[in-house]
Chain A
Amino acid sequence: MVNDLQEPNQTLQPLRKPLISLRRYLGDGLGWGLSTLAFLVLTSAFFSIIGNVFLRALPVLHLNLFTEITNGIGGGLKNAIEGTAILSLGSILIAAPIGIAAGIYLSEHGAGKWGSALRFLSDVLVGLPSIVLGYVGYITMVIYLGWQFSVAAGIITLAVMLLPYITRTTELALRRIPDTVREAGYALGAGEGRIVFQILLPGTSSAIMTGIFYAVALSMGETAPLLYTAGWSNYMWHGHMTKEPIGYLTYVVWTFINEPFKESHMLAFAAAFLITFGVLIFILLARWILARTQRKLGGL
């Protein structure tokens, strides 16, 4: 009986095995190599952008950038810095309360059809090209309402753009709070409003702040929605909401680089430097807050 057992056909094994493993080694090596290359390309693009903006802005980063206003080809950036601050702050002041309220609605009562329709539409709103928002701001507020190029038109256009972002981050933050917390509140006799304002919002304030910081960063870097709503001004703002245009940093970047003068180019890079690093600081701050709260929650 034992002799009847056939030996397995050994001749195939040594022929096929090296072939398979060679293909495997080559395929794996190629795959990992290309993946690493893709990452390296992106990282070098990032450092090229940041490095160039930094190095070319460095020679012009004087104090008079912050004390002088722009003139035709050069000067400082005082008016543009002020304008960017006003537009960002104003648009956040409008978008934050509305966005947070919409986020509360979506997380607390948005389980049904109406809620998911709302969520869907706000996702679509995120995808609208910002120049289209700017153009609608132009035809409605600048022309039809007769506000002309103005702070109000710029702020409202930006606020519409920021709304869906703030709504979404608020909703996601609130949904992370377990239902038992709400039930505990109801059991103590608290009403809907009291639960939202005294339990849910304080508990998620840092996550909501993260969303608002992202929105600030977004509003600082925008140009297209402001071109035909806020206009441009070489002077400081006099406090009129309508009929007075205002300057902002991103506008300096794109117009002054087209001037034939070296001084204007340097100013464009200085503006790009302020914008880029302003945005990065807000983004990193937001990520840091989020990471810190997540660590705190994880420690509970």
Chain B
Amino acid sequence: MKFSIFRISLIATASLLPLSLLAIIVFLALYSWPAIQYNAFHFLWINDWNLGNLYGNPITQHGQQIMPGAHYGIWFLVVGTLSSSFIALLLALPLGVGSAIFLSEGLPRTWGTLLSLFVDLLASIPSVVYGLWGYAVLVPFLAKHVYPSMAHILSFNSFFGGQPGTGYGLLTTSIVLAIMMVPLISSTLRETMNMTDPALKEAGRSLGMSRFQVIWHIVLPNLRTVLMGVSILALGRALGETMAVLMVSGNALNYLPDNIYSPISTMASFIASQLDSALQDPTGMAVRALSEIALVLLLIAVIVNIVARLMLWKRGYIHGQ
């Protein structure tokens, strides 16, 4: 088969996409190679991030030069990242499903399309503005009016009770992340609900089910895979969210959350906030350890996305915008 120059140049440009993905993974792995050799991957389970004595003389350990007393354990980041994202998903799912039901089935089509704009526009607000809103509005409000009474009412449980803290922490981060995740869940669900075969709904109605029963017992179970796929996709976004988390999480260091109000830190926000201090390390191992965190985050994101896309593709649903 003979390809025209036009076709060849198209192929060459199109392959820039997978190549850039490949380049990102390769460069990150190459750069963090010394840290991988030093830390292997059990640094994930160790809870001790310490750049060591930056004024001492570098020592050699495991064939790598590091500063005396340096440790690169990031268990607190793993816990912070996973817990904030999962709590966010728990909060986002009912909001997403509820708003999708309301907008696609509860309103006449024209009103539904019009009002769905507000939910969709939530997706376009920059994450740093979410962070600013969280910092200036949500944190003071929650710390003053919600958390103290919530901790008081739920004091029988040590995870929900305990010290309500300053407002910066796990639950605030999860709330902000949840609002950022909802538009994706809501719009995907809304689109697929509108695509549901009307014959299914009519069959339900003719059996005497109410409109809500039809949605709850027929339409939604039919969209289980889509809902799971888009939830995982949203989870992936939450895992990698940086700026908003940086501004409301409290940026804990080596601190494991003991209740839902504790300050936390996530992998993404840690990379963003720690590069400046990591650059003080003359051996460069701190920067490479950060790069290893980025590599771990990248691998998690790739795996999560692959799983989510496969689930959505299996249902023949390809997400457009």
Q: Are A38 and B125 in contact (CB under 8 A)?
A: no
Complex Cα spacing A124 to B95, Å: 26
B118 within 8 A of A: yes
Any B CB within 8 A of the CB of A289: no
Chain A residues with CB below 8 A from B291, complex form: 135, 139
Give the contacting residue for A272; candidates B14, B96, B122, B132; CB below 8 A: B132
| A48 with B27: CB separation less than 8 A | no
Question: Is there a chain B Cβ closer than 8 Å to A125's Cβ?
Answer: yes
In the bound complex, residues from chain B placing their C-beta under 8 Å from that of A155 are: none
User: For residues 113 through 140 of chain A, which have their beta carbon under 8 Å from a beta carbon of chain B?
Assistant: 117-118, 120-136, 138-140
Residues of chain A contacted by B31 (CB below 8 angstroms): 139
Which of B94, B103, B122, B129 has a CB less than 8 Å from the CB of A221?
B129
Instruction: Map CB proximity to B onto A26-41 as digits: 1 under 8 Å, 0 otherwise.
Output: 0110011011111101
- Cα A128 to Cα B121 in complex, Å, equals 22
Q: Interface digits, A84-121 against B, CB 8 Å rule (1 contact, 0 not)?
A: 00000000000001100110111011000000011011
Whether the pair B132, A31 counts as a contact (CB closer than 8 A) is: no
Using A31-B216, A109-B10, A279-B125 as known contacts, say yes or no to A98 and B268 having CB atoms under 8 A apart. Answer: no
Question: With A42-B179, A221-B127 known to touch, is A253 a contact of B297 (CB < 8 Å)?
Answer: no
Knowing A101-B10, A254-B246, say if A224 contacts B268 (CB, 8 Å). yes
Among A7-15, A58-66, A167-175, the stretch that binds chain B is: A167-175
Interface hit among B58-66, B71-79, B160-168, B235-243: B235-243
Whether B51 is near chain A, meaning CB under 8 Å from some CB there, is no
B16 touches A132 (CB 8 A): no
Cβ distance B17 to chain A, nearest Cβ, rounded Å? 5
B223 within 8 A of A: no
Chain B residues whose CB sits within 8 angstroms of the CB of A130 once the complex forms: 240, 242
In the complex, B247 has a CB within 8 A of chain A: yes
B interface: dominant SS: helix
> Among the listed A24, A45, A106, which residue makes an inter-chain contact with B213, where contact means beta carbons less than 8 Å apart?
A24
- Do B18 and A132 have beta carbons less than 8 Å apart? no
Please tell me if the beta carbons of B243 and A223 are within 8 angstroms of each other in the complex: yes
Tell me the residues in window 122-181 of chain B with beta carbons closer than 8 Å to chain A beta carbons: 122, 124-133, 135-137, 179
Contacts of A28 in B (CB 8 A): 210-213
A269 sits at the interface (CB 8 A): yes
Q: Contact partner of B268 among A45, A131, A167, A250, CB < 8 A?
A: A131
Q: Given A98-B16, A276-B125, A253–B132 Cβ distance below 8 Å?
A: yes
How many chain A residues sit at the interface, stated as a range, is 35 or more
- Whether A24 contacts B210 by the Cβ 8 Å rule is yes
Partner of B101 from the list A35, A121, A227 (CB cut-off 8 Å) is: A35
**B27 neighbours in A (Cβ, 8 Å):** 136, 139-140
Interface readout for A243-276 with B: 1 if CB under 8 Å, 0 if not? 0000000100110010000000100110010011
Separation in Å of the A103 CB from the closest CB of chain B? 8
Q: Distance (Å) between the CB of B201 and the closest chain A CB? A: 15
Q: Report the separation of the CA atoms of residues A124 and B27 in the bound assembly, to the nearest whole angstrom.
A: 17
For residue B301, CB closer than 8 A to chain A, the reply is: yes
Contact A129 B301 (CB under 8 A): yes
Q: Does A228 contact B (CB under 8 A)?
A: yes
- Min CB–CB distance B103 → chain A (angstroms): 7
Q: Which of A106, A108, A123 has the most CB of B within 10 A?
A: A123
- B4 and A193 within 8 A (CB): yes
Also in contact, A118 and B122, with CB within 8 A (given A136-B28, A191-B4): no
- Cβ–Cβ < 8 Å partners of A46 in chain B: 118-119, 121-122, 125
Report yes or no: A124 in contact with B126, Cβ–Cβ below 8 A.
no
With beta carbons under 8 angstroms apart, the residue of A35, A104, A163, A228 that contacts B10 is A104
User: Which chain B residues (13-41) contact chain A, with CB distance < 8 Å?
Assistant: 13-18, 20-21, 23-24, 27-28, 31
Question: How many angstroms from the CA of A56 to the CA of B132 in the assembled complex?
Answer: 11
Tell whether A52 is near chain B: CB-to-CB under 8 Å. yes
Residues of chain A touching chain B, judged by Cβ–Cβ distance below 8 Å, are: 24, 27-28, 31-32, 34-39, 41-43, 45-49, 52-53, 56, 97-98, 101-102, 104-106, 108-109, 117-118, 120-136, 138-140, 160, 163-164, 167-169, 172, 191-193, 196, 211, 214, 217, 220-224, 227-228, 250, 253-254, 257, 265, 268-269, 272, 275-276, 279-280, 283, 287
The 7 tightest CB contacts between A and B, nearest first, are A129-B240, A38-B98, A221-B126, A127-B305, A101-B13, A35-B102, A105-B14
- 28 A-B residue pairs with CB within 8 Å: A28-B211, A36-B98, A43-B119, A46-B118, A46-B125, A56-B136, A98-B13, A101-B13, A104-B10, A105-B13, A109-B10, A117-B18, A118-B14, A120-B306, A127-B305, A128-B24, A129-B268, A129-B298, A131-B240, A132-B28, A132-B271, A135-B291, A160-B24, A192-B6, A211-B321, A224-B243, A257-B247, A283-B124
**Chain B residues packing against A (C-beta within 8 Å):** 4, 6-7, 9-11, 13-18, 20-21, 23-24, 27-28, 31, 94-99, 101-103, 106, 115, 117-119, 121-122, 124-133, 135-137, 179, 182, 186, 210-213, 215-216, 233, 236-237, 239-243, 246-247, 268, 271-272, 275, 290-291, 294, 297-298, 301-302, 304-306, 308-309, 313, 319-321
